[in-house]
Amino acid sequence: MKKTWWKESVVYQIYPRSFNDSNGDGIGDIPGVIEKLDYLKELGVDVIWLSPVYQSPNDDNGYDISDYQAIMDDFGTMNDWEQLLDEIHQREMKLIMDLVVNHSSDEHAWFTESRKSKDNPFRDYYIWRPDKEGKEPNNWAATFGGSAWDYDEASGEYYLHLFSKKQPDLNWENSELRHEVYDMMKWWLDKGIDGFRMDVINFISKADGLPDGPNPHNKKYGDGSQYFMNGPRIHEFLHEMNQEVISKYDVMTVGEMPGVSVEQAIEYTDDSREELQMVFQFEHMDLDSGPEGKWDLKPLDLRDLKKSISRWQTGLHGTGWNSLYMNNHDQPRVVSRFGNDKEYRVTSAKMLGTFLHMLQGTPYIYQGEELGMTNIKFDSIQDYKDIETLNYYRDALNDGKSEHEIMQSIYTKGRDNARTPMQWNSEKNAGFTTGSPWIAVNENYKEINASQAVHDPESIFHYYKKLISLRKDHKIIQYGDYQLLLPDHQEIYAYARSYEGQKLLVLTNFSNQEQTFTKPENLSFYAKDILIGNGQINSLHVEKVVLKPYEAVVYLGE
């Protein structure tokens, strides 16, 4: 397998709206990011992924783009952005940008043209269909509620939007559209960026005829995902994009892909197929959801996590490449989700970081994860800002769910959990803004903030710093193989890795009780060193290891 810089890198995701506000308008911005680059350099990350900063009416916080080649006024100017790129490069870090081309904003010039009339030259840039017997062209539900189709009075047809109605899907069947996208990508790459994170990129090819999806519970709308996820021409489109654009630059690509399987991910990321380098898969993020989807709460069974992660680790080893994440701007905070954000916040955040960072793949850290930032619980729905959450609240009330049940789902799974302002210090608004923040700051900022963490050698921040530097110093973390231990244990996640005669043993306790690890007979392991741990373990004796609540320890041996 080829060794490359992006297999040896750690990525940090910035959600700019919530990162750092430089001018007191309550909204994070690009100059605000520049102010914090030294902080990121100290943490030791190699690559910054910047969530969308393009011009947008902000129906979905920038994931609805009205001009792909301009910077959103809230965030600054193109000059600010150029300075950002320059300052990142000066610090020997890299910048990858978000590419959102499954859909645009309905305020993009292409769409304003497209909706003008059926014979407009841009009509075919989007997916327009006549009604079916006076109703929507098919039964697909949109991710943010309601039908995936919206009726346009003026031209008398429906357009497809898999997300909100202000996010019309682009028509990738149209080759002119595809080439406009490629030109736009080249324009950014020629400015010197180091790659792209591609939003729902496995949705761009839709099945011929756009058939109705299954609707087993006879709800208002059906599930069309089998007709738009990993569709018939997806590999052709990604290969074309690779040949026309990506292959001409030394850059990294990561495709966000809900509903992708291990087998499909191998196809997307196998070098020789020349498509993408890695994907974000969702299996491990869906394990705590019931059959009704993300709002249908279900506790995590650790054995499910083991099964899933292990299939991905073994499946992609030597054939493709994994990305490693448990947090991003769409997910609740992992310390609140799979850890314990009360009495074991610091310990469990370190344990979760250890578990993830010792795996094979490229790790992604989401802003605030390195501080152990937690979920938010606003009393009133008025304080929530996310379109998905607000639509869910409205639709679920209409469906007769109780307010209490709805709020429990939102507290547990809502995307605003990840979007409260970054907690920089214990001053007003956590140092995020001098004005009034666009979304309220988590009240726990006096205790949980970057300034505290940077000054405390025992902090999660310093622990992450060490995890990052261990990956740099140990090829086994980057390239070793993976073996799951104790598959049936309900509280301990243990795995071993090996590489060129070296071995790594990773023990993590996912519970608030003491647990004893007993080394399985089929594992031969002689510990020589402890690389990192969040507790007191200092013995190299691994036959029996007593792990305190949420304890993690990593041994290097042979």
Could you give the residue numbers annotated as active site? Answer: 199, 256
388 binds ligand TEU (CB under 6 A): yes
Q: Which residues, in sequence order, are bridge partners of residue 515?
A: 547
275 binds ligand TEU (CB under 6 A): no
Say which entry of Ca ion, ligand TEU, none residue 23 contacts (CB below 5 to 8 A, set by partner kind): Ca ion
199 binds ligand TEU (CB under 6 A): yes
Say which entry of Ca ion, ligand TEU, none residue 294 contacts (CB below 5 to 8 A, set by partner kind): ligand TEU
Number of residues that bind ligand TEU (CB under 6 A): 13
100 binds ligand TEU (CB under 6 A): yes
Question: 143 or 509: whose CB is closer to ligand TEU?
Answer: 143
Question: 294 or 465: whose CB is closer to ligand TEU?
Answer: 294
Say which entry of Ca ion, ligand TEU, none residue 63 contacts (CB below 5 to 8 A, set by partner kind): ligand TEU
Query: Using CB under 6 A, which of 68, 122, 163, 312 touches ligand TEU?
Result: 163
Residues between 167 and 186 that touch Ca ion (CB under 5 A): none
The 505-544 site mask, x for binding ligand TEU (CB under 6 A), equals: ----------------------------------------
Residue 115 C-beta: closest distance to ligand TEU, Å:
20
| Closest residue to ligand TEU in the complex (CB) | 63
Say which entry of ligand TEU, Ca ion, none residue 551 contacts (CB below 5 to 8 A, set by partner kind): none
23 binds Ca ion (CB under 5 A): yes
Residue 429 C-beta: closest distance to Ca ion, Å:
12
- The answer to whether 75 and 56 have CB atoms below 8 angstroms apart is no
Residues between 132 and 151 that touch ligand TEU (CB under 6 A): 143
Angstrom distance (rounded) from CA 491 to CA 510: 5
Looking at 387-482, list the stretches that DSSP marks H as alpha helix, in order from N- to C-terminal side.
Answer: 387-398, 403-413, 450-455, 460-473, 475-479
**DSSP strand pairing (54-55 vs 67-71):** antiparallel
Contacts by 282-287, CB closer than 8 A, 24 or more apart: 282/257, 282/258, 283/308, 283/312, 284/308, 284/309, 284/312, 284/326, 285/326, 285/331
Which of 520, 525, 522, 485 has the alpha carbon at shortest distance from 503? 525
Residue 39 C-beta: closest distance to Ca ion, Å:
18
Angstrom distance (rounded) from CA 30 to CA 52: 11
Tokens representing residue 35 in the block: 């102010």
Angstrom distance (rounded) from CA 427 to CA 56: 31
294 binds ligand TEU (CB under 6 A): yes
Phi-psi region of 126 (alpha: psi -120 to 50; beta: other; left: phi over 0): beta
Burial classification of residue 543, based on how many CB atoms lie within 10 Å of its CB (0-12 exposed, 13-18 middle, 19 or more buried):
exposed
Residue 388 C-beta: closest distance to ligand TEU, Å:
5
25 binds Ca ion (CB under 5 A): yes
DSSP codes of every residue in 355-403: HHHTSSSEEEEETTGGGT------SSGGG---HHHHHHHHHHHHTT--H
Residue type for position 260: V
Helix (H) or strand (E) holding 277: none
Query: Using CB under 5 A, which of 27, 34, 387, 406 touches Ca ion?
Result: 27
Say which entry of ligand TEU, Ca ion, none residue 174 contacts (CB below 5 to 8 A, set by partner kind): none
Q: Which residues bind ligand TEU (CB under 6 A)?
A: 60, 63, 100, 143, 163, 199-200, 256, 258, 294, 329-330, 388
